[in-house]
Chain A
Amino acid sequence: MVEGINLIEQFKFASQHLFNLIVFIGILYYFLKDTVVNFFASRSNRIKDEIAEATNVISKSQEQYNNSSQKLELIDSELTELRNSLDAMTNRKVSDILDNANFLGEKIKNDTADIISLESVRLKADIENEVLEKAIELAKYEIKEDSNESKDTILISSFLSEVKQNAISNS
């Protein structure tokens, strides 16, 4: 019996508290409804604005990213072009330098061959002249040793006869 009373008491107690809670909630709803609505509405709007702003930022960023990408692609293509051009120019220059070096090498080779040839001709002529000078010196010495007045007179007579013959033929 006591247990039955307690249960009713407890139920009664719970019902009163539940009622108080409902009343309390009703009062809260009555007084705080607009504030809460406004709060959440403004929060919702702020979040919307932030989302819109973020979207805007994202689209701008995307646009900038696209622009940057385009620029990077452009720079990349220019770099590639420049590299190709540099490569072509370097190859051409290297080719020119090699051609020049080959030409110079060939020219130096030919010039050296010419110089050697001319030097050998000159040396040959020098040697010939030296030999001739020596031969002439020897001949002079021999002639001096061998000459005498009678031979000289014969030589002079012979030459004067020759001059006379020339004078006669010219006249």
Chain B
Amino acid sequence: MPSATVNDFFIALTSDTSSNENIEKVYYGLSNFVEVFDKDKSIRLCLINDVYPQSVKIDLISQIVLDCDKTRKFLEAIVEFNLLTEFIDSRDFFLKKLRKILGRVRIEVTTTNLNQEEKLNLIKSSLEEIWGSNLEISFKEDQEILGGIILQVEDKFFDGSLIGRINELKKINLKGEFNV
């Protein structure tokens, strides 16, 4: 007998949620859950381990997802059908789907210094010019890139860092296009 998949529950969740505001709530609820899951090792171990009973997992989920009933019910159903691992494995895919429904673009910006407010504002405004105002921007500091910026826009990767350009030179040399 075919059983339900995570995608079936997800379709039910999104079709049940009519307004953008509710989808927004679902999205933030799921994002919050995923963030907590990724950060807290004890929660992660409890949720993916079959040793713990479903009731414990559902209690834990209800403590994490406080402000969105639909998200909580969705996650509870996932746990009841033993599909939590599948959902966790493809969490980015479902979050991306929700962002697509919301018309939102997630951008992860990597730069060398996050203390320069002026620079961050310049980056934000430039990104809004390119991908619109409905953006979910997160900043990350990495001194190893030496300078410039790296953008991860959903599935696309834009490397404008100095280390990226240096690595390009390395690749050129591996192809034998110039001799040292």
Task: Take A128-B180, A164-B130 as given contacts and tell me if A155 and B170 are in contact as well, using a CB distance cutoff of 8 Å.
Answer: no
Distance between A119 CB and nearest chain B CB, rounded to angstroms: 17
Closest to B148 in A: A155
Inter-subunit contact A152/B122 (CB<8 Å)? no
Q: Which of B113, B148, B160 contacts A149 (CB 8 A)?
A: B113
Q: Which of A119-171 contact B (CB under 8 A)?
A: 128-129, 131-132, 135-136, 139-140, 143-144, 147, 149, 151-153, 155-157, 159-164, 167
Distance between B114 CB and nearest chain A CB, rounded to angstroms: 12
Inter-subunit contact A156/B173 (CB<8 Å)? no
Residues in A with CB closer than 8 Å to B160 are: 155-156, 159-160, 162-163
Distance between B143 CB and nearest chain A CB, rounded to angstroms: 9
Measured in the bound complex, the distance between the Cα atoms of B130 and A30 in whole Å is 171
Inter-subunit contact A160/B126 (CB<8 Å)? yes
Inter-subunit contact A140/B119 (CB<8 Å)? no
Inter-subunit contact B113/A152 (CB<8 Å)? yes
Inter-subunit contact B122/A153 (CB<8 Å)? yes
Task: Take A132-B173, A140-B166 as given contacts and tell me if A160 and B146 are in contact as well, using a CB distance cutoff of 8 Å.
Answer: no
Is B151 among interface residues, defined by CB-CB distance under 8 A?
Answer: yes
Residues in A with CB closer than 8 Å to B146 are: 140, 143-144, 147
A contact residues, range: 20 to 34
Q: Which of A128, A156, A164 contacts B148 (CB 8 A)?
A: A156
Instruction: Please classify the interface of chain A as helix (H, G, I), strand (E, B), loop, or mixed, using the class held by over half of its residues.
Output: helix
Inter-subunit contact A160/B147 (CB<8 Å)? no
Is B36 among interface residues, defined by CB-CB distance under 8 A?
Answer: no
Residues in B with CB closer than 8 Å to A161 are: 126
Closest to B111 in A: A156
Distance between A157 CB and nearest chain B CB, rounded to angstroms: 7
Residues in A with CB closer than 8 Å to B127 are: 160
Residues in B with CB closer than 8 Å to A129 are: 173
Max count, chain B CB within 10 A of own CB: residue among A128, A153, A160: A160
Against B, the Cβ 8 Å flags (1 = close, 0 = not) of A73-86 are 00000000000000
Q: Which of A132, A159, A163 contacts B180 (CB 8 A)?
A: A132
Query: Can you list 25 A-B contacts (CB < 8 A)?
Result: A132-B169, A132-B180, A136-B166, A139-B166, A140-B146, A143-B146, A147-B147, A149-B119, A152-B147, A153-B116, A153-B119, A153-B122, A155-B148, A155-B149, A156-B119, A160-B127, A160-B130, A160-B149, A163-B130, A163-B151, A163-B158, A164-B129, A164-B130, A167-B130, A167-B131
Q: Which positions in A face B, CB cutoff 8 Å?
A: 128-129, 131-132, 135-136, 139-140, 143-144, 147, 149, 151-153, 155-157, 159-164, 167
